[in-house]
Amino acid sequence: MPDPDALPPLSLTVPEPEVRPGGQPDFSHVAIPRAGTVRRPPVDADPEEIRDLAFTIIRVMNREGEAVGPWAEALDFTPEDLLEGLRHMMTLRIYDARMLNAQRQQKTSFYMQHLGEEAISCGFQRALAPGDMNFPTYRQAGLLIAAGYPLSAMMNQVFSNAEDPMRGRQLPVCYSSREHGFFTISGNLATQYIQAVGWAMASAISGDRKISAAWIGDGSTAESDFHAALVFASTYKAPVVLNVVNNQWAISTFQGIARGGSGTFAARGLGFGIPSLRVDGNDYLAVMAVAKWAAERARRNLGPTMIEYVTYRAGGHSTSDDPSAYRPAEESTAWPLGDPVLRLKNHLIRLGVWSDERHAQAEAEILAEITAAQKRAEAIGTLHHGQHPSPVDMFEDVYAEMPPHLLKQRHEAGF
| Residues forming the site for other proteins (CB under 8 A) | 11-12, 14, 16, 20, 109-110, 160, 164, 168-172, 174, 186-190, 219-220, 222-225, 250-253, 257-258, 320-321, 325-326, 383, 388-389, 391, 393-395, 398, 405-406, 409-410, 413
| Shortest Å, Cβ 191 to other proteins | 9
The option from ligand TPP, other proteins, none interacting with 247 (CB < 5 to 8 A, set by class) reads: ligand TPP
The option from other proteins, ligand TPP, none interacting with 170 (CB < 5 to 8 A, set by class) reads: other proteins
| Residue whose CB is less far from other proteins, 152 or 186 | 186
| Shortest Å, Cβ 326 to ligand TPP | 13
| Shortest Å, Cβ 9 to other proteins | 12
Residue facing ligand TPP at closest CB distance: 217
Binding site residues, ligand TPP, CB under 6 A? 139, 187-189, 217-220, 245, 247, 249-251, 313, 317
The option from ligand TPP, other proteins, none interacting with 249 (CB < 5 to 8 A, set by class) reads: ligand TPP
| Residue whose CB is less far from other proteins, 79 or 261 | 261
Q: Phi/psi of residue 64, each to 5°?
A: -85, -5
Q: What is the C-alpha separation between 326 and 339, in angstroms, rounded? A: 22
Contact status, residue 145 vs residue 372, Cβ threshold 8 Å: no
DSSP class of residue 162 equals T
| Shortest Å, Cβ 53 to ligand TPP | 22
Burial of residue 226 (CB within 10 Å: 0-12, 13-18, 19+) is: buried
Q: What is the C-alpha separation between 320 and 199, in angstroms, rounded? A: 33
The option from other proteins, ligand TPP, none interacting with 143 (CB < 5 to 8 A, set by class) reads: none
Q: What is the C-alpha separation between 279 and 289, in angstroms, rounded? A: 10
Number of helical (H) and strand (E) elements in the chain, helices listed first: 13, 9
| Residue whose CB is less far from ligand TPP, 106 or 320 | 320
Neighbours of 263 (CB within 10 A): 13
Q: What is the C-alpha separation between 91 and 281, in angstroms, rounded? A: 18
Q: What is the C-alpha separation between 196 and 241, in angstroms, rounded? A: 9
The option from other proteins, ligand TPP, none interacting with 172 (CB < 5 to 8 A, set by class) reads: other proteins
Contact status, residue 302 vs residue 43, Cβ threshold 8 Å: yes
| Shortest Å, Cβ 329 to other proteins | 15
The option from other proteins, ligand TPP, none interacting with 335 (CB < 5 to 8 A, set by class) reads: none
| Shortest Å, Cβ 220 to ligand TPP | 3
Q: What is the C-alpha separation between 327 and 255, in angstroms, rounded? A: 13
> Sheet of 305-310: strands edge to edge?
133-135, 212-217, 240-246, 305-310, 276-280
3-class DSSP assignment, residue 245? strand
The option from other proteins, ligand TPP, none interacting with 109 (CB < 5 to 8 A, set by class) reads: other proteins
| Residue whose CB is less far from other proteins, 59 or 167 | 167
The option from other proteins, ligand TPP, none interacting with 313 (CB < 5 to 8 A, set by class) reads: ligand TPP
Handedness of CA 216, 222, 223, 229 (dihedral sign): positive
Q: What is the C-alpha separation between 27 and 3, in angstroms, rounded? A: 42
